[in-house]
Structure formats: structure tokens, C-alpha cells
Amino acid sequence: MTTIAFVGLGIMGSPMACHLARAGHDVVGHNRSPEKTAALVEAGGRAAGSVAEAVRGADVVALMLPDSPDVTDVLTGEDGVFAHAAPGTLIIDFSTIRPDVARDLSATAAERGFRMVDAPVSGGEAGAVNAALSIMVGGGKDDVAAARPYLDTVGKTVVHVGPSGAGQTVKAANQLIVAGNIALLAEALVFLEAHGADLPAAVEVLGGGLAGSAVLNQKAPKMLDREYSPGFRIDLHHKDMGIVTSAAREAGVATPVGALVAQLVAATRAAGDGGLDHSALHRTIARLSGRASGPSPRDES
């Protein structure tokens, strides 16, 4: 049994921490909103009132936090991991942050005697709940090997993609592809609806051909039902598209489609939809077409 401190028990972190607890590990969770530790406690874990309390005595520290500044603060702050965890502790950062920040934090961790891997995930809430996440891992070979049992507990596809920061680079590419697919799916549904097509039937046949994808399978039903409860919030995808555009500029790479999609995500957020699922891009496309979201096509059929 390993003692694991898990910091960040939101939509993704909570089910991941629960899987680790149910696998027999001693999981100590901390979240800025204390009530979010309830599910972990019910799964057999423990709640901590601070990061410092959570990481004392931990063999592994896992993070699932919203953005680069959050990860930096949790690791380097006075109440943070570097100040209170024991040297040699393995740090697994499941958050999605900037690749350059991941590299810098890994270097600082090594200087202070810690081991660290970046392990951002894809698969959304459903992937976290079902322990079916795709995990792209950056770090040294031995550190990744040490992290592997915990990664395998919460993920289905776990791949070591390179040195520190490489996981975050691959995750940025993932978010670019996902956002582009969601935007085009939204455009297709607005287009089909404007022509009076049977939308559920259209989605079914599209899903059986080359247009089929995990995005279509997971997000088309939300668009059809006008039900945008967050599995992955627009606010977070907006942050991720910022990571993509910044990293692309740094590398001298043109991402013209990505730049347009980033603006669509930003417009969705500016319209007040930042707390909705990223499938709410459908609302922005509908507004641009003068077709504000109305009743669900399923309700009309």
C-alpha cells in the first residue's frame, strides 16, 4: 500500500483519487473547497485541511489543478509540496499546463531531491469515472516506470512520449484536435438543422463513416439535447487554446485553423458560457448563423 497525496478533487481529480483509494492505496485528498473531499472519504480515503498536511508522509503526490499558476503555487508555495514533502517523493502532475512551466518545475523538483513526471490526461469526466483516460507522460524513464502503476489505475492508454514537458506538448496537440472537431461538429449540426434534416438519424450515419469520432459520439448528444453540463468546461479549453497558440508561436509553427477555433472558444467564453461544457461551442456557431439555441431537436421529433 502506497500513501498518495492527491491535490485537486474536481470533476476529474475526484474520480481519479477514488480509483486509487479503491485499488488499496492510502489516499489523502485536499481541495480548496473542502466539501469536494466527500467522495474520496466515502471511497476509503482521507481528507486533509491543507497541502502541507496532505503531503507529509506521502510516497506519491498527485496533482489535478486548473492552470500553470495553480500548479506552481501548490509546488513552490510556503504551504506547498517542495516545502513539506520528503525528498525522494514522486510527483505526478495530471494537470494541463504550459510545457515550458512543466520543464521548469521538473528541473526545480530535481534540484530539491524530488522525482516528477507530467501526465496530462484526455477523456473528460467519463474517462475519469471509468478509469479509461488516455495519459501522455513526460519525464525520465525511471520516474515514469515508478509512476506507471498509479497511471495504469486511472488510465487505459498510458504512453511515455518523451522528457519532461513532452506530455504537456502532446496534450496541447490533443486539445487543438478536440476543439477543431467540436467546432466542425457544431457547424455540421447547425447546417443540417437549417436544411430540416433528421438530426439524430444524421448523427447515426455520420458516426458510422469517416466522420465518426470519439468527439462525435460524446458531444453530438449534448448538442442535440441542448444539454451542456460540464464534462470539460469552456473556461479550461480557452486556457488550453492559449497554451497551443503560445507554444506554436514559440516554435515558429503556423496553426491557422487552431487560431480560428481559439477565437471561437474565446467568443463562447465572452458570451457567458465559460462554465458550460466545451460542446457549448454549438451555441456560438448557432448564434453566428442567426439560429439561437431553441428546443432540443429530440423534443421536436
Report d(CA 57, CA 35) in Å as an integer.
23
Given the residues 36, 171, 222, 239, the one annotated as active site = 171
Tens-place pLDDT, residues 60-81: 999 999 999 999 999 999 999 9
CATH code assigned to 3-163 = 3.40.50.720
284: nearest Cα among 268, 301, 263: 268
Rg of the chain (C-alpha set): 20
Per the prediction, the chain carries an average pLDDT of 96
Output the pLDDT for position 73. Answer: 98
The number of residues in the chain equals: 301
How many Cβ atoms are within 10 Å of 227's Cβ, its own excluded? Answer: 13
Band of residue 21 on the pLDDT scale cut at 50, 70, 90: very high
CATH fold for domain 169-300: N-(1-d-carboxylethyl)-l-norvaline Dehydrogenase; domain 2 (1.10.1040)
Output the pLDDT for position 292. Answer: 74
How many Cβ atoms are within 10 Å of 34's Cβ, its own excluded? Answer: 13
Output the pLDDT for position 293. Answer: 60
Output the pLDDT for position 253. Answer: 96
Q: Is the pLDDT of residue 295 over 80?
A: no
Output the pLDDT for position 1. Answer: 83
How many Cβ atoms are within 10 Å of 226's Cβ, its own excluded? Answer: 18
Q: Where are the domains of the chain?
A: 3-163, 169-300
Look-up of cell digits 441542448: 226
- Beta partners for 90? 60, 115
Report d(CA 297, CA 301) in Å as an integer.
6
Q: Is the pLDDT of residue 301 over 60?
A: no
Q: One fold for both 3-163 and 169-300?
A: no
Report d(CA 27, CA 245) in Å as an integer.
36
Q: What is the DSSP letter of 277?
A: B
Active site residue 171: yes
Q: For helices 281-288 and 166-194, what crossing angle results, to 10°?
A: 40
84: nearest Cα among 137, 38, 48, 31: 48
Report d(CA 55, CA 129) in Å as an integer.
24
Q: Per the structure block, which three cell numbers stand in for 278?
A: 466545451
How many Cβ atoms are within 10 Å of 287's Cβ, its own excluded? Answer: 15
Q: Is the pLDDT of residue 28 over 70?
A: yes
Report d(CA 282, CA 191) in Å as an integer.
11
| High-pLDDT (> 90) share of the chain, % | 95
